Chain A
Amino acid sequence: MRLTVLLVRPLARALDWGPLLAVLAAGLSTSAIVEPRTGSALLVLRMIAALTGGAAAFALVDPMDAGTRAAPVGRGRRQWIRCGLALGAATGIGGGALVVVANRVPTPLPVGGLAVEMALLTAIGLAGGAVSVRSAPGRAAALGGLFTVAAVVGASLLLPDHYTPWTGPGDARWDHVHHLLAGALAVPVLVLALANREGVRGLRRRG
């Protein structure tokens, strides 16, 4: 635990904050100018969440990962701390956008459900990024997060109307769908646990 606390500061300095900051700026400005209607607000918040997921994956890129044979601290712990830091930033972006939009839309937004959607999209981006960062070198590997989010969202849009996860706040299925989405968070978390493990063997050989 003490080790984790000690590692937070150096890792926070090593982290690539650029993409997350860019998304923060884009997200907040979009939230501030979007038409204050529930439909547009939902669309904007969901797109910001997808983008946040993609940007969070950049936090997982560790240029030294492949080159360091004997690190004093395990890879798992370092990657989880990176995930935690990215998640903190993502919460800031998502929460900020949600507060801005909720204050501009005249009808109250279902904040809880939207938070679940945003958490899920961010987690999917992180999980996709963690897998591709593990298997490919370089910063570009982090784009795997964005591609994963795009693929999952694209696939979800192909679902029949009855099974769509993108319901509106007036929909009778809203609560049910968001319970399921909260449960679905387990999948990216599991993928993260697998991808953050020790031993990037294939990569070591290449490096």
Chain B
Amino acid sequence: MTGALFRSELGRALRNPLLWLVAVAVHAAAVRTRLSGTAAWAPDLTIETVDATGDALFVAAGVLLGANLAILRERRMPERLAALPGRPADRAVAVAGAFAVLGAVVAALQIAAYLVLRIAQGSVGGHLDGFEVACGVTVAALAAPLGVALGRWVPSLVAAPLVLFALMLLTLLNRNLGGFGGWFLPLVLIRTTDGPARPSELHLVYLVAVGVAGVGVALLRHRSRRRGAVLGVVLTALVLGVSTGAAAQARPGPGPDGRAAEGRAGTDCRRIGAVTYCALRGYTGWIPRWAAAVAPIEAALPASARDGLPTIVQHTAGAPGDTTGSVPVWSVWGRGASERPYRDFLAGDVAARATGLDTGERCDASGQARTVVALWLLGQVTGRAAGPATITVTIATTGSGGRTLVTRATPLGVSYGAGEIEHASRLLTMPEAGRRIRAHWSVLVDPATPIARALPLLGLSGHHHDSPLGPPRCA
């Protein structure tokens, strides 16, 4: 009997456009907000698996409403159901089962569609946690027994919307501010690149326990000989749920601002050419992208200068660490057209360090020959002499769309003017520029060498008018 009811309810649920509309709209929103425009970032699975399960929360909302309405159908048309042979308990199980299966399938499809799309884009960073995905799927499934239990005990059409309002609000507030229920909520959407591990496996047990308790609570409404057994199952599930929730809550967690509460997870270093790249554990997939920004500079340097190139080290925004002797990259890297500022930021750092400049120092490097060389080196990556405009990159994001930014006054950090840009532009058009720069390297990168003396060495004609820009001269 329950089997036939289950198939009939599943058919009705499949024809209900609500869930499909929610799934398509949420997928469209995810693609629009996270994969396009200035947010077109390289895939970071540690972060995006959690975001994708957050999308499943909307599917869960649809499942809860759908299951609730299906149960309340008995009150809306009691005269049509009175003649049915099935008992209310059978109908409750059938509705809960049908919506749970459908919700799990829709959520799994939606999460998989997003993650497959991201992984197919290549240059994947981060770690795909199967437990997180399972939590997202389970949330969509357990919404069905909750909707059924609600319909049986509070048979009002507004009960489900109000419960959804409360759960959504708590989840959003918890994501944005922390607190507000923590791991007792359906999902915790706070995520960091480098925080302590999320207790996703404990949370999965918690969610399954809540789902089982939901079915039991719905069945307790009806008279049955198995009532004692059902009560036992509900109590066991509740004890299990409360204890796993409390255990997950007791683990050290990341704060809402993305700052890790614990130390770094460690780095994986690789050497490509003369440069060492150290990625946070799991992010070695981004090393080829960083190398693409550094390799043209490395190739343009004389062999003696290549050994002095800094190590490229990935940092999290919350724990910037020590960056002397190394060049930082962060928890975000661009993709497609959005990659350009990230590439320029890193290449500018490397070009400046290679010529003895320091991007961290706000000094005036105009009139120095090494500034022209640094701009020419940067031009090997960008294809042109970069103007002294500010450059900004995102180094961390929060689930609510917040971003942590770093800004540099010019691509090289130091100040320079139109004269330096013009010389570098002309150098970039000269095929023998590289040979000349390598031949006179030690003279050209000497801070004491003025541009006027470097011009004949570089094979450039004309004069240079040196006018100080304001900040103290770079030493």
Q: Could you tell me which A residues sit within 8 Å of B by CB distance?
A: 18-19, 22-23, 26, 30, 34-35, 37, 39-40, 43-44, 47, 51, 54-55, 58, 138-140, 142-143, 146-147, 151, 154-155, 157-158, 160-161
User: Bound complex: CA of A140 vs CA of B177, how far in Å?
Assistant: 36
Count residues of B near A (Cβ-Cβ below 8 Å): 24
Interface status of B157 (Cβ within 8 A of chain A): yes
The winner among B76, B158, B161, B168 for most chain A CB atoms within 10 A is B158
Please indicate the chain B residues that have their CB under 8 angstroms from the CB of A142 in the complex.
157
4 shortest interchain CB distances as A-B pairs: A19-B158, A22-B158, A154-B25, A158-B29
B177: A residues at CB distance < 8 A: 35, 37, 40
**Chain B residues with Cβ under 8 A from A160's Cβ?**
32, 37
| A158 and B157 form a contact (CB under 8 A) | no
A139 engages B173 (CB within 8 Å):
no
CA distance A51 to B317 in the complex (A): 38
The secondary-structure label for the interface of chain A is helix
Let me know if B166 and A34 touch, CB within 8 A.
no
User: Per a CB cutoff under 8 Å, which of A43, A55, A158 touches B28?
Assistant: A158
Given pairs A44-B169, A154-B25, A161-B37, 12 additional interface contacts (CB within 8 A): A18-B156, A23-B158, A26-B165, A26-B166, A30-B166, A37-B177, A54-B161, A58-B158, A140-B76, A158-B25, A158-B29, A160-B37
Query: Which residues 240-298 of B have a CB within 8 angstroms of A?
Result: none
Contacting pair A139 B165 (CB below 8 A):
no
Q: Which residues of B contact A34 (CB under 8 A)?
A: 173
**B interface residues with partner A (beta carbon < 8 Å):** 18, 21, 25, 28-29, 32, 37, 69, 72, 76, 156-159, 161-162, 165-166, 168-169, 172-173, 176-177
Within the assembled complex, what's the spacing in Å between the Cα atoms of A139 and B165?
20
For residue B165, which residues in chain A have a CB less than 8 angstroms away from its CB? 26, 47, 51
Whether B76 lies near A138 (C-beta < 8 A) is: yes
Check B158 against A158 for contact (C-beta < 8 Å): no
Contact B29 A43 (CB under 8 A): no
Nearest opposing residue in chain A for B31, CB measure: A158
Residue of A nearest to B166 (CB): A26
Q: How far apart are B70's CB and chain A's nearest CB, in angstroms?
A: 11
Number of residue pairs across A and B with beta carbons under 8 Å?
65
- A140–B161 CB distance below 8 A: no
Q: Is the CB of B29 within 8 A of A22?
A: no
- Among B72, B158, B161, B176, which residue has its beta carbon within 8 angstroms of that of A18? B158
B173 touching A40, Cβ below 8 Å: yes
Instruction: Output the nearest chain A residue to B36 by Cβ-Cβ distance.
Output: A160
Q: Distance in Å from the Cβ of A21 to the closest Cβ of chain B? A: 9
Contact A43/B158 with A26-B166, A158-B32 known, Cβ cut-off 8 Å:
no
- CB neighbours of B158 from chain A (8 A): 18-19, 22-23, 54-55, 58
Q: Are B25 and A58 in contact, CB atoms less than 8 angstroms apart?
A: no
Q: Which residues of A contact B157 (CB under 8 A)?
A: 19, 58, 139-140, 142-143
Contact assessment for B161 and A146 in the assembled complex, using a CB-CB cutoff below 8 Å: yes
CB pair A35–B29 under 8 Å, yes or no, is no
Distance A143 CA – B32 CA, assembled complex (angstroms): 28
| B64 CB to nearest A CB, Å | 13
- Closest beta carbon of chain A to B185's beta carbon, Å: 16
Q: Is B76's CB under 8 angstroms from A51's CB? A: no
